[in-house]
Amino acid sequence: MLEALKEKVLRANLDLVKYGLVIFTWGNVSELDRASGLIVIKPSGVEYDGMKASDMVVTDWNGNVVEGKYKPSSDLLTHLEIYKAAPGIGGITHTHSAYAAAWAQSGRAIPCYGTTHADYFHGAIPCTRGLTAKETGGEYERSTGLVIAESFKKTAPAEVPAILVENHGAFSFGADAREAVHNAVCCEQVAKMAYLTESLNPGVKPAAQFLMDKHYCRKHGANAYYGQSGNHK
Ligand SMILES: [Zn+2]
């Protein structure tokens, strides 16, 4: 079942390696099949090298495995809570890519210091609060998703399609798995650029709101004009 989607989710996971966002088995990508309400996600603990489309795991909305010989990624419950909280999201990527994770470990949102950031994220990439001892000791992965959902009330994922979880790493979103990976790559790159910017100028201020608005809005929304027609990436 969902053979084409399994192939797509496999490719998206392998792209994390291609773009240098993961090592070993770190990281995962999933996509929600809207027609069936099923989710395809990377298996838990399987090496990227030699990973096949048939290794992908299909689960239902409650996390029950519908098809697959492996257990799903241990982050599945986080993904499910994100899908439930934001109906516009169709694909999710999770990484511990170094620069994004460094901001997460610092408990800091990534300020928008320039146009590269503004092209993809309309404002700072937020950092969630840390999980409590009770949340960490209970349903940890589900609580991580709920903490992310809490943050969506302040920053809409449609406008800022990435978020940092304090002391942890980054989650990125998109209409599908491919777009979620694209945004994960952009998140890591702007995290790196922001780090370098603050290194060169510790007193630097975020870019002006009018510049952020200009760059975001020329690529997104009704009046977008960047790129070829129908392709604003
Ligand atoms: Zn993680």
pLDDT single digits (tens) 162-190: 999 999 999 999 999 999 999 999 999 99
**Ligand 1 centroid from CA 233, angstroms:** 27
DSSP 106: T
**Ligand 1 centroid from CA 3, angstroms:** 27
Given this model, what pLDDT does residue 150 score? 98
Would you say residue 228 has pLDDT above 90? Answer: no
DSSP 127: B
Given this model, what pLDDT does residue 221 score? 78
Would you say residue 18 has pLDDT above 60? Answer: yes
Q: How confident is the model at residue 232 (pLDDT cuts 50, 70, 90)?
A: very low
Helix (H) / strand (E) element for 7: namely helix 3-18
Given this model, what pLDDT does residue 143 score? 98
Tell me the CA distances in angstroms from 105 to 97, 102, 130, 165, 219, one per residue in order: 12, 5, 10, 8, 31
What average pLDDT does range 137-147 have in this prediction? 97
**Ligand 1 centroid from CA 98, angstroms:** 12
Q: How many residues does the chain have?
A: 233
Would you say residue 233 has pLDDT above 50? Answer: no
**Ligand 1 centroid from CA 162, angstroms:** 14
Would you say residue 140 has pLDDT above 50? Answer: yes
Report the half-sphere exposure of 85 (CA within 13 A, side-chain side).
Answer: 25
The catalytic residues are: 119, 226
**Token representation of residue 23:** 């090592």
Given this model, what pLDDT does residue 224 score? 81
Sheet arrangement for strand 162-164: 65-67, 57-59, 38-41, 28-33, 91-95, 170-174, 162-164
Would you say residue 231 has pLDDT above 60? Answer: no
**Ligand 1 centroid from CA 137, angstroms:** 16
Q: What is the pTM of this model?
A: 0.94
Would you say residue 30 has pLDDT above 90? Answer: yes
Amino acid type, 146: L
Given this model, what pLDDT does residue 220 score? 87
What average pLDDT does range 198-209 have in this prediction? 96
Would you say residue 43 has pLDDT above 90? Answer: yes
Q: How confident is the model at residue 226 (pLDDT cuts 50, 70, 90)?
A: confident
What average pLDDT does range 46-57 have in this prediction? 95
Would you say residue 209 has pLDDT above 70? Answer: yes
What average pLDDT does range 109-113 have in this prediction? 98
What average pLDDT does range 86-114 have in this prediction? 98
Torsion of CA 210, 214, 220, 225, to 10 degrees: 160
**Token representation of residue 86:** 């934001």
Under 8 Å between Cβ of 3 and 53: yes
Given this model, what pLDDT does residue 223 score? 79
